[in-house]
Structure 1
């Protein structure tokens, strides 16, 4: 099993004292059924169109408030879960991307929770949730070209020893650590605020691990909870 020890900066907890997340480190196994993610994604789209879960809009509103607290503009750069939700409400569907990505997008839609999926082998050091100095490099793509950006000072970021892995808390993932079904060491992070009940966060994590078990029987995973007690 990969050893993953994500940490949260006190400066982030001060923005959202009741922030709670579940971290899931995974060692993959041979993929038996690639269609699992797509099937779960189709079901998740129906869940959203049916107006579920009931806490979705309140949860998105709390994320918007937290984003504004560190200077982001949530109407332009919403949390990842709200961005997916808006796309489904606008288009009535969600395109398939990759079996693993489809699975964690399905979890995000079903539970209105931001979910990140990362290729752990691309990491240098442990994941850290902190406020940026503005000097941390972030590799991304613009107009089809690879570019390096830098976060705004004070912006909440996930980072490792090389730089930013996700900007604006959970808004945009970098290219370097992007996950696909071929990767062998995976890391997922499910992030919640108080509008989402903790038992729903646990159910979201179970939906993800159940999907992994169905897709790649024999995979191994380890779960841990992050909250104010995880500050470092």
Structure 2
């Protein structure tokens, strides 16, 4: 049985974190996004400006809460949360564009709710997927890179038996487990470190599941991972 496990050393740093999971099984991610999905993403780009009310970018809550989180563990210099990276593009007027249907759907949810979101191909995992502190040296080649950029000791990362899946918590995904047109079974995730936003997290994860099935078929299983319930079967 393959599992997703958030380990003790993570909870010691972030005891109140809640992480929403959608297991999307039997989906069809081939081809480019439909006009409807592209339109949803375009609208989400515009609507996400509601999260940028402060004149200083880093003082906007959706950014600052993750800046504070990233100070609690070892990171590569310049690493920022995925939601900060998206919001920085929005601030600069550089719209988050279409990649593939599933990525477009989770980016739509990320922009709509101001929460980090991501996804991986379940069938590419080597053993269990773990969110934990890296020992250092776990193999990793980021999307778009040609050379390895392995994990640092003490870094919070998603790991499996073959190496790092996503570095610096939700900063950068790796090539080995990326979502592609061949993905049939996907691990989708939305993360929340702000305990005041748990209702929004649940709404976001439910909407993510709904949109994924509506546009890509298959079926979806939902879960919220907490310190009290730190494991989920991926089978």
Query: TM-score by structure 1 length?
Result: 0.87
Aligned residue for 1:166, secondary structure, equals strand
Q: Which residue of 2 aligns with 1:90?
A: 92
| Cα distance, 1:132 vs structure 2 | 0.6
**Change beyond 3 A, Cα 1:124–1:73:** closer
| Cα distance, 1:149 vs structure 2 | 2.1
Q: Which residue of 1 aligns with 2:69?
A: 66
How many residues end up aligned between the 2 structures? 225
Where in structure 2 are the equivalents of 1:149-228 lying within 5 Å? 149-194=149-194, 197-217=197-217, 219-228=218-227
Q: Which residue of 2 aligns with 1:129?
A: 131
Alpha carbons 1:27, 1:220 under 8 Å: kept: yes
Counterparts of 1:181 and 1:40 in 2: how far apart (Å)? 20
| Cα distance, 1:230 vs structure 2 | 3.6
Alignment root-mean-square deviation, CA: 2.5
Gaps of 5+ in 1: none
1:77-116 Cα distance to aligned partner (Å, 9 max, x none): 2100111011011125222111111111111111111111
Gaps of 5+ in 2: none
Counterparts of 2:41 and 2:90 in 1: how far apart (Å)? 11
| Cα distance, 1:36 vs structure 2 | 3.8
Alpha carbons 2:140, 2:163 under 8 Å: kept: yes
**Change beyond 3 A, Cα 1:145–1:190:** closer
Q: Which residue of 1 aligns with 2:11?
A: 13
**Change beyond 3 A, Cα 1:17–1:145:** closer
Counterparts of 1:199 and 1:177 in 2: how far apart (Å)? 29
1:103-160 Cα distance to aligned partner (Å, 9 max, x none): 111111111111111011111112100101102111235xx65222211110000011
Counterparts of 1:31 and 1:183 in 2: how far apart (Å)? 6
Counterparts of 2:37 and 2:121 in 1: how far apart (Å)? 17
| Cα distance, 1:180 vs structure 2 | 2.5
| Cα distance, 1:172 vs structure 2 | 0.3
Aligned residue for 2:142, secondary structure, equals strand
Counterparts of 1:152 and 1:220 in 2: how far apart (Å)? 36
| Cα distance, 1:5 vs structure 2 | 2.5
Counterparts of 1:68 and 1:43 in 2: how far apart (Å)? 32
Alpha carbons 2:109, 2:204 under 8 Å: kept: yes
Counterparts of 1:112 and 1:79 in 2: how far apart (Å)? 11
